[in-house]
A and B are shown apart, each in its own frame.
Chain A
């Protein structure tokens, strides 16, 4: 039996022929990175190959010396006789799927991906392959995410109904925060949007990359100034809600933008008053549609709810296996 092209190892997904890992969770000699979320892109590798934007995002998050060497992906290349190519994943700025081809076999590691339009990145590109490796973050048939513009309309309606209360929306610093801002702008909200300090650099970077976010102002002021933010829209990373930073706002509406908000209990556990179901992952419908469209000979399933997807594959008569890779979070913080 020939050696498999990719194989799970404790460090992550490994390609023996090319001697590299994809999105490893521990420092390795050579890593190919799909996108900049912390559970996929870690600091401390010997060499990193990723899209230019992913490399720049890693430098912003971890400092310029995040890896021994780095190489920006410019086009298909060969690593130890294995052909490697990157393809848009539609997840966040700079995100890519990685296709690995050798001996007439192609495996696509999709990383995290989405099929809903996102102005910060190119749309997901279905790549024909023998093995498709999919995430399973929202792989339960209850996850059918609504149109994000409807969710933003909810936010604007709430701001209209309670104009005296600042609206604090929790959103992950990379991708989701900018997505919420863009959606609000698309919906016609043109007032300044206030952002927590932890979002500043990544928002600046999006603007640099030609993604208009409108008038952004820091939400890191003292309590007296915060009193002026009564009617404001404030975006902050979820971790900020457990910190004393929140205390400067008098009686805020707490919202959270996440695919998890579709489940009421998840929203209530977090004390969220305004759940916004906005996700940058495929929901059940898009996931199963994608697999059907690509129609791979074999489906490999990583982080998330593998069981339900395994069952779906069984019902569809598809060959599938769970990879049980460790180190991936439900949604990166």
Chain B
């Protein structure tokens, strides 16, 4: 429990992804089995425990601590598990408890009886381990570890690479003994589950100039749709829909899964489609946000797949075939699938890059993000192989916004104000519309930092509010409607593309500009 508690602390306080990976890999390397397997499952939310309810914990602590003192403390600390961990009256010298024992006991205990059990353990642990135990028991670890991050950490432990791990991940269950054995030099586990995920082939960005080095006749072109890349796998009666990092998202898309009456693995774009019209990304996001969508949402936001590729079909692995051959197979496959849920990504006719540039300039639907280029003669390869697939994205949207808040960065940006909130005019007020952390050079970062220090209005911890004077050009990929933002819009991937030292703040863009963009996206 001690090592796990220490890991939770490191993950909670370490801001950077890389440092989190280090901490995770370090722990997984040293912790014994089955502890590390359970820890991994707990971190990624895959551990099934009878969750201890907050009411149970409150009742438990109420037997040891005066309720008024507890309430004052909870009010100050703000986190139930942390308050209990700190306030719990220590009985004797703390010892260390075995994490697997705790997990297995909790798994076998009915929810209503967890209270006294946890209390007994708390008596024997030090505060840090008490915190870890309570977080484990309540299932709310929230330390920023996704299953993806966990797999990247696992790939650092031994010879098996990320793609190999992703390929066998599904079908494995905690505490993942065969996985760790394999990573440490043992035998590769048999694929335990049917309908496994197959690592996805990805593209690299390219621009007009970069295309000149390529022969147009060696490539095919398709629209790049603004949805999410998925893999639909149906094998031996098992049906799964995976995100491109191998997360199983089947439960959120029963309307797709119900129609996967085939035997194979297909690669495509998940979109919300009404007839021929592909809905904007925001509509898909609504679906992504619901783990189990209701009937009304399924009817108003019907999901569909636009297919790019076929990886496996009726027992045959098609990935070694060149793209053109796979495309022929895909066309035959699509003809057998229900058209309201599955259609094919169209091949764009072009002879030279100029023709393609013309198509890219005038896409038939607003939700098209650019064009994809794929070499005709290459097999389907995992990862991002060089020179095979390219994305030539449409130019980003641009607005001029005013910097409103700045926050200090971490790690290499320690001491620099590097995280910015910006806004646009609504009447004579500035409303925040987004945050940006990137897009500027180191030299620009230094100038921005000086600007922040010289134009601070108020300080709130690491955040400063600024005199609304500096205009920045913000580039972004698209807009979504948002109820969480006061402005009603949320930007996708905003970054600072230019700093307009010359432009007066009153000339920055207005909220109406963004609202129009939102309307025309439809």
Contact = CB atoms under 8 A, between A and B. Distances in A.
Interface of A: 140-144, 146, 168, 241-247, 249-252, 254, 262-265, 267-275, 305, 307-308, 311-312, 315
* Main SS class of interface, B: helix
A200 B414 CA distance: 23
B87 A142 contact: yes
A275 B9 CA distance: 10
Contacts of B412: 250-251
A312 B69 contact: yes
A265 B79 contact: yes
Nearest to B65: A141
B410 interface: yes
Nearest to A146: B127
Given A242-B408, A273-B15, A140 B73 contact: yes
B325 interface: no
Contacts of A247: 414-416, 449
A33 to B, nearest CB: 30
Given A144-B127, A244-B453, A251-B414, A264 B82 contact: yes
Interface string B408-436: 10111011100000000000000000000
A274 B86 CA distance: 19
The interface centre, meaning the residue of B72, B77, B82, B127 with most chain A CB atoms within 10 A of its CB, is B72
The interface centre, meaning the residue of A142, A168, A242 with most chain B CB atoms within 10 A of its CB, is A142
Interface in B91-133: 127
Interface string B451-466: 0010000010110000
B461 A270 contact: yes
Given A246-B414, A264-B79, A311-B68, A270 B462 contact: yes
A245 B13 contact: no
B66 interface: yes
A274 B13 CA distance: 7
Nearest to B412: A251
A308 B72 contact: yes
B83 interface: yes
Contacts, number: 87
Given A244-B449, A305-B72, A311-B68, A271 B462 contact: yes
B76 interface: yes
Given A244-B453, A254-B414, A142 B86 contact: yes
Nearest to B409: A271
Nearest to B90: A144
B12 interface: yes
B78 interface: yes
Given A274-B13, A308-B73, A315-B66, A142 B83 contact: yes
A268 B82 CA distance: 14
Contacts of B453: 244
B14 interface: yes
Contacts of A275: 13
Question: 5 smallest A-B Cβ distances: which pairs?
Answer: A246-B415, A142-B86, A247-B415, A142-B73, A308-B72
Given A264-B12, A264-B79, A265-B78, A273 B86 contact: no
B72 A271 contact: no
Interface in B59-85: 65-66, 68-70, 72-73, 76-79, 82-83
A273 B462 CA distance: 14
B138 to A, nearest CB: 15
Nearest to B408: A271
B87 to A, nearest CB: 5
Contacts of B415: 241, 243-247, 249
